Structure 1
Amino acid sequence: MKLARDDGTATYRIRAYEPGSITINEHTYETSVLLMPDTLSTQLRPERLDELALADLQPAIDWAPELILLGTGARQAFPARELMRSLIHAGIGFEAMDTAAACRTFNLLMSEDRRVAAALLLR
């Protein structure tokens, strides 16, 4: 799926997503990424949702976004309740969706200059 929207002031834009890879700006990644409008980390440890811990999202939490999107791979799934509870307790919105939907949603919210972060798992 190729994404085309190119509005907003963000440094990083998702250009394309296919199962197993994501293109951000002009570089294709084959590993999970943590993305904010001006920050990209390819050091997101988990490749699969069952490996995700709150500590993996800490850089995004420290940035204090209004919302963290979690792309869970090919299908929508939900992380452990404790993780979701912790984010809600911190006052951060949280949405889990398949990674393709998370990519589209990130680009849309980023184009509106919203404080959105995305943890995008590819498997």
Structure 2
Amino acid sequence: MKLQPDKSDAQSLTAHGPGWVAINNEKVEGSVVVGSRGERFEWNCTRFDQLGAEHFAQLASLGAELVIFGSGSRIRFPQPAWLQPLMSKRTGVETMDTPAACRTYNILAGEGRHVIAALLVEPPEH
């Protein structure tokens, strides 16, 4: 039996490395928000300690069923108060490191779910 991968129309995260991710093979340097329904914009933060409630309120306005927060090279959890706008809209939030968030986003987007990946892409350490 020949198996072929499902074809998805959602943009996908095709690669990642220190200081960058690739969206549909286009290298993007810096934090970014990517959605399965075409959402894509720069996320104005380069380090975890720059994040605040306003970053997550922005995500709540997108109306996704799930937000995957990629917290950078290691897993770090946002303050619970920052997530209140998402919780009030009954939007799920999952936190993981950015490489895991890229993989998880691709699976869920490929299933046709309305998912947002908010990816903290930190500059590489020298």
TM-score in same-fold range (> 0.5): yes
Give the drift of 1:82.
0.5
Gaps of 5+ in 2: none
Corresponding pairs, count: 117
Distance 1:60 1:92 in 2: 10
Letter in 1 for 2:120: L
Asked if 1:102 corresponds to 2:101, the answer is yes
Matched residues in 2 for 1:25 and 1:58: separation?
26
Amino acid at match of 1:31: G
The structural deviation recorded for 1:14 is: 0.7
Cα displacement (A) at 1:98: 0.2
TM-score, normalisation: structure 1: 0.85
Deviation at 1:61, TM superposition (A): 1.9
Deviations 1:59-109 (A, max 9, x none): 532221111000011101101120123322221100110000000000000
Query: Do residues 13 (structure 1) and 12 (structure 2) align?
Result: yes
TM-score (norm 2): 0.84
Alignment match, 2:90: 91
Q: Deviations over 1:29-81 (max 9, x none)?
A: 11000111212112x11112221223224453222111100001110110112
1:84–1:57: structure 2 CA closer, same or farther, 3 Å change rule? closer
Equivalent position SS for 2:54: helix
Query: Could you say which residue in structure 1 is the equivalent of 2:33?
Result: 34
Gaps of 5+ in 1: none
